[in-house]
Amino acid sequence: MSRHYFIAIPIEATELIHVQHAILPYYSYRRIYRPDEFHMTIQFLGYVDGEELDEVKEITRRICEDTLPFTLTFRSIDHFGRPDRPRVLTIVPDDSEPLQRLAHALRQELVDVIPRLDRKAFVPHVTLAKKWDAGERVPYVSPEFQVTESVEEVILYEVQPNHTPAYRAVEVFPLRRPEEDIWQSRLKFLT
């Protein structure tokens, strides 16, 4: 069986669990994402061989070392597909220049290494559920929420469809620490 991979930002905000539970009764999905599966895909890679995987890791490491941590804010529920039977239910972040720069840099370099990569536009989102089951969506007033997530790393995941969770972290790429963090940790060591 060939292995498939993707690069994503892990999403750990526990408040998203409450949002997910509040809106799921109005939908009908076969696949509900677990909190430990929440992530924002930057690039789906599909099958990559060992040499390509090494190049993906090197590119991701280099770009992450040039990217400072940033924060995402989530306030909106969205979906992909028909409004009455959306195939994917998502939460989307507010516009974020640092996220767009990171995604653009990664995707631009990765397509040079793996020309067959999916080149669909980057649509930032966190999937809550997918695979519509039966019936129609029940109309509701979307709950108000504001959830923030600190982005301090990017992860290369392997898809494991027959496991729980369905994704395994292969490698973690920390974003560059701000200079003041580095100096504070050095000062603690010296005192």
Torsional sign, CA 100, 102, 74, 140: positive
Q: What are phi and psi of 92, to 5 degrees?
A: -115, 145
What secondary structure letter does DSSP report for 84? S
Using the 8-state DSSP alphabet, how is residue 110 labeled? Answer: H
Cα three-residue angle 118-91-3, rounded to 5 degrees: 35
Element (H, E) at 70: strand 70-80
- Annotated catalytic residues are 39, 125
**Rounded Cα distance, 27 and 138, in Å:** 7
Extract the tokens encoding 14.
């526990």
Q: How far apart are CA 158 and CA 191, in angstroms?
A: 42
